[in-house]
Amino acid sequence: MNKINILLNGVGRIGKAILRISNEKNYFNIIAINELNTNINNIAYTINYDSTYGNISNKYKVEDDFICNDINKIQILNEKSLKNINYKKLKIDIIIDASGAKIDQNILNNLDVKKIFLTHPNKNANINMILGVNDHLYKNQKIISTSSCNATALLPVLNIIEQNIGIEYGDIATIHPLLNHQKTLDSSCVGSTNRDIDCSFEFGRSSVQNIIPSKTTTIDACSLVLKEINHNLISSNSFRVPTPTVGAINVSLVVKKEITKEKLIEIFKTYENQQNYKIILNNYEPLVSSDFARSEYTSIIDHRFTSVIKNKMVKLVLWYDNEWGYASKVVELVNKL
Protein backbone atom coordinates (compact mmCIF):
# COMPACT_ATOMS: atom_id res chain seq x y z
CA MET A 1 0.00 0.00 0.00
CA ASN A 2 1.39 3.37 -1.00
CA LYS A 3 1.91 5.95 1.73
CA ILE A 4 -0.09 9.15 1.57
CA ASN A 5 1.64 12.32 0.43
CA ILE A 6 1.52 15.31 2.77
CA LEU A 7 1.97 19.04 2.30
CA LEU A 8 3.07 20.64 5.57
CA ASN A 9 1.96 24.27 5.66
CA GLY A 10 4.26 26.09 8.06
CA VAL A 11 7.40 24.78 9.69
CA GLY A 12 7.48 26.72 12.95
CA ARG A 13 7.64 25.05 16.36
CA ILE A 14 4.75 22.62 15.78
CA GLY A 15 5.48 22.08 12.09
CA LYS A 16 9.09 21.17 12.81
CA ALA A 17 8.05 18.73 15.55
CA ILE A 18 5.54 17.12 13.17
CA LEU A 19 8.27 16.71 10.54
CA ARG A 20 10.73 15.17 12.99
CA ILE A 21 8.14 12.78 14.47
CA SER A 22 6.91 11.85 10.99
CA ASN A 23 10.45 10.91 10.00
CA GLU A 24 10.74 8.71 13.11
CA LYS A 25 7.34 7.02 12.72
CA ASN A 26 7.50 6.65 8.93
CA TYR A 27 3.69 6.63 8.63
CA PHE A 28 3.42 8.93 5.61
CA ASN A 29 5.47 11.03 3.20
CA ILE A 30 5.89 14.76 3.75
CA ILE A 31 6.85 15.66 0.21
CA ALA A 32 6.32 19.44 0.30
CA ILE A 33 6.53 22.30 2.78
CA ASN A 34 4.87 25.66 2.20
CA GLU A 35 6.62 28.32 4.25
CA LEU A 36 6.58 32.12 4.18
CA ASN A 37 10.30 32.18 4.99
CA THR A 38 11.87 32.48 1.52
CA ASN A 39 15.39 31.57 2.65
CA ILE A 40 15.55 27.85 1.89
CA ASN A 41 18.96 27.50 3.55
CA ASN A 42 17.51 28.92 6.74
CA ILE A 43 14.56 26.52 6.54
CA ALA A 44 16.96 23.57 6.36
CA TYR A 45 19.02 25.07 9.19
CA THR A 46 16.04 25.52 11.54
CA ILE A 47 14.96 21.91 10.93
CA ASN A 48 18.47 20.54 11.49
CA TYR A 49 19.22 22.48 14.67
CA ASP A 50 16.92 23.03 17.63
CA SER A 51 17.77 24.55 21.00
CA THR A 52 14.96 22.66 22.76
CA TYR A 53 15.07 19.15 21.28
CA GLY A 54 18.63 19.03 19.99
CA ASN A 55 20.05 18.54 16.51
CA ILE A 56 19.14 15.77 14.07
CA SER A 57 21.93 13.51 12.86
CA ASN A 58 20.45 12.97 9.38
CA LYS A 59 20.65 16.59 8.35
CA TYR A 60 18.85 18.19 5.43
CA LYS A 61 20.80 19.74 2.58
CA VAL A 62 19.53 22.13 -0.06
CA GLU A 63 19.24 20.99 -3.68
CA ASP A 64 17.60 23.61 -5.92
CA ASP A 65 14.13 24.17 -4.38
CA PHE A 66 14.26 20.95 -2.32
CA ILE A 67 15.69 20.01 1.05
CA CYS A 68 16.95 16.43 1.14
CA ASN A 69 18.40 13.84 3.47
CA ASP A 70 18.57 10.04 3.51
CA ILE A 71 14.89 9.77 4.53
CA ASN A 72 13.06 12.09 2.18
CA LYS A 73 13.14 14.82 -0.42
CA ILE A 74 10.89 17.79 0.30
CA GLN A 75 9.99 20.53 -2.14
CA ILE A 76 9.90 24.00 -0.56
CA LEU A 77 7.12 26.36 -1.64
CA ASN A 78 6.63 30.01 -0.66
CA GLU A 79 2.99 30.62 -1.51
CA LYS A 80 1.10 33.20 0.56
CA SER A 81 -2.18 31.37 -0.07
CA LEU A 82 -2.88 27.64 -0.17
CA LYS A 83 -5.16 28.18 -3.16
CA ASN A 84 -2.12 29.01 -5.32
CA ILE A 85 -0.66 25.49 -5.04
CA ASN A 86 -1.19 22.84 -7.74
CA TYR A 87 -1.94 19.81 -5.57
CA LYS A 88 -2.62 17.46 -8.45
CA LYS A 89 0.74 18.22 -10.04
CA LEU A 90 2.55 17.69 -6.74
CA LYS A 91 0.44 14.56 -6.02
CA ILE A 92 -0.60 15.86 -2.59
CA ASP A 93 -3.25 13.83 -0.74
CA ILE A 94 -3.47 15.70 2.56
CA ILE A 95 -2.53 19.08 4.03
CA ILE A 96 -1.34 19.51 7.60
CA ASP A 97 -1.70 23.21 8.32
CA ALA A 98 0.70 24.10 11.13
CA SER A 99 0.85 27.79 10.24
CA GLY A 100 -1.56 28.84 12.99
CA ALA A 101 -3.07 31.33 10.53
CA LYS A 102 -6.80 31.79 10.05
CA ILE A 103 -7.63 30.64 6.53
CA ASP A 104 -10.92 31.42 4.82
CA GLN A 105 -13.23 28.42 5.01
CA ASN A 106 -14.23 28.71 1.36
CA ILE A 107 -10.58 28.42 0.36
CA LEU A 108 -10.16 25.26 2.43
CA ASN A 109 -13.33 23.68 1.07
CA ASN A 110 -12.21 24.21 -2.51
CA LEU A 111 -8.67 22.86 -2.19
CA ASP A 112 -8.11 19.78 -4.34
CA VAL A 113 -7.02 17.43 -1.53
CA LYS A 114 -8.67 14.61 0.40
CA LYS A 115 -8.27 16.10 3.88
CA ILE A 116 -6.96 19.14 5.70
CA PHE A 117 -5.76 18.97 9.30
CA LEU A 118 -5.63 22.28 11.19
CA THR A 119 -3.30 22.32 14.21
CA HIS A 120 -5.42 24.83 16.11
CA PRO A 121 -9.02 24.95 17.37
CA ASN A 122 -11.41 26.03 14.64
CA LYS A 123 -15.16 26.38 15.10
CA ASN A 124 -15.69 26.28 11.33
CA ALA A 125 -13.88 22.96 10.83
CA ASN A 126 -16.04 19.94 9.95
CA ILE A 127 -14.95 18.47 13.28
CA ASN A 128 -12.59 19.34 16.13
CA MET A 129 -10.97 16.10 17.21
CA ILE A 130 -8.75 14.85 20.03
CA LEU A 131 -7.34 11.33 19.93
CA GLY A 132 -8.86 9.16 22.62
CA VAL A 133 -11.82 11.49 23.15
CA ASN A 134 -13.95 11.76 20.01
CA ASP A 135 -11.97 10.19 17.15
CA HIS A 136 -14.69 7.52 17.00
CA LEU A 137 -16.96 10.21 15.48
CA TYR A 138 -14.88 10.36 12.31
CA LYS A 139 -17.12 10.09 9.23
CA ASN A 140 -14.77 11.04 6.42
CA GLN A 141 -14.87 14.77 7.22
CA LYS A 142 -12.56 16.86 5.05
CA ILE A 143 -11.51 19.69 7.38
CA ILE A 144 -10.37 18.39 10.77
CA SER A 145 -9.08 20.54 13.61
CA THR A 146 -6.64 18.73 15.91
CA SER A 147 -7.50 21.23 18.68
CA SER A 148 -4.79 22.76 20.91
CA CYS A 149 -1.93 21.43 23.02
CA ASN A 150 -3.72 22.41 26.25
CA ALA A 151 -7.04 20.82 25.30
CA THR A 152 -5.23 17.70 24.06
CA ALA A 153 -3.67 17.36 27.52
CA LEU A 154 -6.74 18.27 29.59
CA LEU A 155 -9.78 16.85 27.81
CA PRO A 156 -8.91 13.13 27.96
CA VAL A 157 -8.69 13.46 31.75
CA LEU A 158 -11.91 15.49 32.06
CA ASN A 159 -13.68 13.03 29.78
CA ILE A 160 -12.66 10.05 31.95
CA ILE A 161 -13.91 11.84 35.08
CA GLU A 162 -17.15 12.93 33.40
CA GLN A 163 -17.88 9.42 32.15
CA ASN A 164 -17.12 7.71 35.47
CA ILE A 165 -18.27 10.08 38.22
CA GLY A 166 -19.53 13.27 36.55
CA ILE A 167 -18.39 16.87 36.94
CA GLU A 168 -20.50 19.43 38.83
CA TYR A 169 -18.15 22.37 38.24
CA GLY A 170 -14.49 23.28 38.51
CA ASP A 171 -11.51 25.43 37.63
CA ILE A 172 -8.26 24.92 35.74
CA ALA A 173 -5.07 26.96 35.51
CA THR A 174 -2.51 26.25 32.80
CA ILE A 175 1.17 26.92 33.43
CA HIS A 176 2.41 27.40 29.90
CA PRO A 177 5.90 27.85 28.44
CA LEU A 178 6.69 31.05 26.58
CA LEU A 179 5.78 31.40 22.90
CA ASN A 180 7.28 33.21 19.92
CA HIS A 181 4.80 36.08 19.93
CA GLN A 182 6.05 37.18 23.36
CA LYS A 183 8.92 39.61 23.97
CA THR A 184 12.32 38.81 25.45
CA LEU A 185 12.60 42.34 26.94
CA ASP A 186 9.87 44.80 27.93
CA SER A 187 8.32 46.38 24.86
CA SER A 188 5.01 47.65 23.51
CA CYS A 189 1.81 45.62 23.77
CA VAL A 190 1.43 42.50 21.62
CA GLY A 191 -1.46 41.92 19.24
CA SER A 192 -2.27 38.70 17.41
CA THR A 193 -5.18 38.20 15.04
CA ASN A 194 -4.54 34.44 15.13
CA ARG A 195 -5.07 34.41 18.90
CA ASP A 196 -7.82 37.06 18.99
CA ILE A 197 -5.53 39.39 20.94
CA ASP A 198 -5.97 43.08 20.16
CA CYS A 199 -3.21 44.52 22.33
CA SER A 200 -2.01 42.56 25.35
CA PHE A 201 -0.02 44.75 27.72
CA GLU A 202 1.16 41.69 29.67
CA PHE A 203 2.60 39.92 26.61
CA GLY A 204 4.64 43.05 25.91
CA ARG A 205 6.57 42.40 29.12
CA SER A 206 9.75 40.31 29.22
CA SER A 207 8.88 36.63 28.86
CA VAL A 208 12.24 35.53 30.31
CA GLN A 209 11.98 37.63 33.47
CA ASN A 210 8.35 37.17 34.51
CA ILE A 211 5.50 34.83 35.27
CA ILE A 212 2.80 36.43 33.12
CA PRO A 213 -0.90 35.92 33.92
CA SER A 214 -3.28 35.73 31.00
CA LYS A 215 -6.55 34.35 29.74
CA THR A 216 -6.62 30.93 28.10
CA THR A 217 -8.75 29.48 25.32
CA THR A 218 -8.30 25.94 26.69
CA ILE A 219 -11.92 25.43 27.77
CA ASP A 220 -13.16 27.04 24.53
CA ALA A 221 -11.09 24.47 22.62
CA CYS A 222 -12.46 21.67 24.82
CA SER A 223 -16.05 22.76 24.13
CA LEU A 224 -15.49 22.43 20.38
CA VAL A 225 -14.67 18.75 20.94
CA LEU A 226 -17.13 17.97 23.76
CA LYS A 227 -19.81 20.65 24.01
CA GLU A 228 -20.68 19.74 27.62
CA ILE A 229 -17.17 20.79 28.76
CA ASN A 230 -17.53 24.56 28.59
CA HIS A 231 -17.22 27.80 30.57
CA ASN A 232 -20.56 27.22 32.26
CA LEU A 233 -18.92 24.19 33.87
CA ILE A 234 -15.26 25.11 34.29
CA SER A 235 -13.51 28.48 34.76
CA SER A 236 -9.93 28.97 33.61
CA ASN A 237 -6.85 31.16 33.47
CA SER A 238 -3.22 30.80 32.48
CA PHE A 239 0.28 31.72 33.58
CA ARG A 240 3.13 32.03 31.06
CA VAL A 241 6.46 30.97 32.53
CA PRO A 242 10.04 31.39 31.22
CA THR A 243 10.65 27.77 30.18
CA PRO A 244 11.01 26.51 26.58
CA THR A 245 8.62 23.55 26.67
CA VAL A 246 6.45 21.32 28.92
CA GLY A 247 3.37 22.81 30.50
CA ALA A 248 1.32 21.89 33.54
CA ILE A 249 -2.39 22.16 34.34
CA ASN A 250 -3.74 22.55 37.86
CA VAL A 251 -7.22 20.98 37.94
CA SER A 252 -9.83 21.43 40.70
CA LEU A 253 -13.23 19.76 40.27
CA VAL A 254 -16.32 19.14 42.34
CA VAL A 255 -17.72 15.82 41.13
CA LYS A 256 -21.26 14.41 41.09
CA LYS A 257 -20.59 10.97 42.63
CA GLU A 258 -18.56 10.38 45.75
CA ILE A 259 -15.07 9.02 45.09
CA THR A 260 -11.91 8.20 47.04
CA LYS A 261 -8.36 9.01 45.98
CA GLU A 262 -7.56 5.31 45.67
CA LYS A 263 -10.58 4.62 43.46
CA LEU A 264 -9.83 7.66 41.29
CA ILE A 265 -6.26 6.53 40.71
CA GLU A 266 -7.52 3.04 39.89
CA ILE A 267 -9.80 4.50 37.20
CA PHE A 268 -6.82 6.23 35.56
CA LYS A 269 -4.63 3.12 35.86
CA THR A 270 -7.30 1.04 34.14
CA TYR A 271 -7.53 3.54 31.28
CA GLU A 272 -3.74 3.64 30.88
CA ASN A 273 -3.56 -0.15 30.64
CA GLN A 274 -6.35 -0.37 28.06
CA GLN A 275 -5.58 2.62 25.81
CA ASN A 276 -4.46 2.20 22.20
CA TYR A 277 -2.33 5.34 22.03
CA LYS A 278 0.10 7.12 24.35
CA ILE A 279 -2.36 9.50 25.99
CA ILE A 280 -2.67 8.89 29.75
CA LEU A 281 0.47 8.27 31.82
CA ASN A 282 0.29 7.93 35.60
CA ASN A 283 3.38 9.34 37.29
CA TYR A 284 4.48 8.73 40.87
CA GLU A 285 8.16 9.72 40.63
CA PRO A 286 9.66 12.97 42.01
CA LEU A 287 10.10 14.60 38.57
CA VAL A 288 10.25 18.18 37.27
CA SER A 289 9.07 19.73 34.01
CA SER A 290 12.17 18.99 31.91
CA ASP A 291 11.80 15.27 32.69
CA PHE A 292 8.65 15.25 30.55
CA ALA A 293 10.24 16.91 27.50
CA ARG A 294 9.78 14.89 24.31
CA SER A 295 7.14 12.70 25.93
CA GLU A 296 4.51 11.40 23.53
CA TYR A 297 2.06 11.04 26.41
CA THR A 298 -0.15 14.10 26.43
CA SER A 299 -1.95 13.70 29.77
CA ILE A 300 0.64 12.83 32.41
CA ILE A 301 -1.12 12.73 35.78
CA ASP A 302 1.25 13.46 38.66
CA HIS A 303 -0.30 11.45 41.49
CA ARG A 304 2.01 13.01 44.07
CA PHE A 305 -0.54 15.82 44.00
CA THR A 306 -3.75 13.88 43.45
CA SER A 307 -6.18 14.42 46.30
CA VAL A 308 -9.87 14.06 47.04
CA ILE A 309 -11.47 16.25 49.73
CA LYS A 310 -14.65 15.01 51.45
CA ASN A 311 -15.14 12.48 48.62
CA LYS A 312 -16.35 15.27 46.29
CA MET A 313 -13.52 17.69 45.43
CA VAL A 314 -10.84 16.30 43.11
CA LYS A 315 -7.43 17.92 42.74
CA LEU A 316 -5.04 16.90 39.92
CA VAL A 317 -1.80 18.14 38.37
CA LEU A 318 -1.14 17.28 34.71
CA TRP A 319 2.08 17.56 32.73
CA TYR A 320 2.38 17.72 28.93
CA ASP A 321 4.99 18.63 26.34
CA ASN A 322 3.09 21.39 24.55
CA GLU A 323 5.13 20.94 21.36
CA TRP A 324 6.35 17.35 21.02
CA GLY A 325 3.46 15.67 22.81
CA TYR A 326 0.84 17.60 20.87
CA ALA A 327 2.62 17.11 17.54
CA SER A 328 2.84 13.36 18.19
CA LYS A 329 -0.95 13.22 18.51
CA VAL A 330 -1.38 15.17 15.27
CA VAL A 331 0.80 12.60 13.52
CA GLU A 332 -1.09 9.68 15.12
CA LEU A 333 -4.47 11.20 14.20
CA VAL A 334 -3.48 11.83 10.59
CA ASN A 335 -2.19 8.26 10.35
CA LYS A 336 -5.35 6.79 11.90
CA LEU A 337 -7.81 8.72 9.74
- State residue 193's pLDDT score: 63
Q: Indicate the average pLDDT of the chain.
A: 96
222 is known as an active-site residue: no
Q: Which of 149, 189, 199, 222 is catalytic?
A: 149
Question: Beta strands 299-302 and 280-283: pairing type?
Answer: parallel
**Options 3.30.565.10, 3.30.360.10, 3.10.20.30, 3.20.20.30; which CATH number does 150-323 get?**
3.30.360.10
Write the pLDDT tens digit of every residue in 41-86: 999 999 999 999 999 999 999 999 999 999 899 999 999 999 999 9
Write the pLDDT tens digit of every residue in 173-223: 999 999 998 999 999 998 866 566 778 899 999 999 999 999 999 999 999
Residue 24 half-sphere exposure toward CB, CA atoms < 13 A: 15
CATH of domain 5-119: 3.40.50.720
- State residue 228's pLDDT score: 97
Write the pLDDT tens digit of every residue in 251-308: 999 999 999 999 999 999 999 999 999 999 999 999 999 999 999 999 999 999 999 9
- State residue 240's pLDDT score: 97
- For residue 29, pLDDT over 70 is answered with yes
- For residue 94, pLDDT over 90 is answered with yes
Average pLDDT over residues 235-253: 98
Whole-prediction pTM: 0.95
Domain ranges, ordered by start, for the chain: 5-119, 150-323
Same fold, 5-119 and 150-323: no
- State residue 3's pLDDT score: 87
Task: Label each residue of the chain as H, E or C.
Answer: CCCCEEEEECCCHHHHHHHHHHHHHCCCEEEEEECCCCCHHHHHHHHHCCCCCCCCCCCCEEECCEEECCCCEEEEECCCCHHHCCHHHHCCCEEEECCCCCCCHHHHHHCCCCEEEECCCCCCCCEECCCCCCHHHCCCCCEEECCCHHHHHHHHHHHHHHHHCCEEEEEEEEEEECCCCCECCCCCCEEECCCCEEEECHHHCECCCCCEEECCCHHHHHHHHCCCCCCCCEEEEEEEECCCCCEEEEEEEEECCCCCHHHHHHHHHHHHHHCCCCCEEEECCCCCHHHHCCCCCCEEEECCCCEEECCCEEEEEEEECCCHHHHHHHHHHHHHC
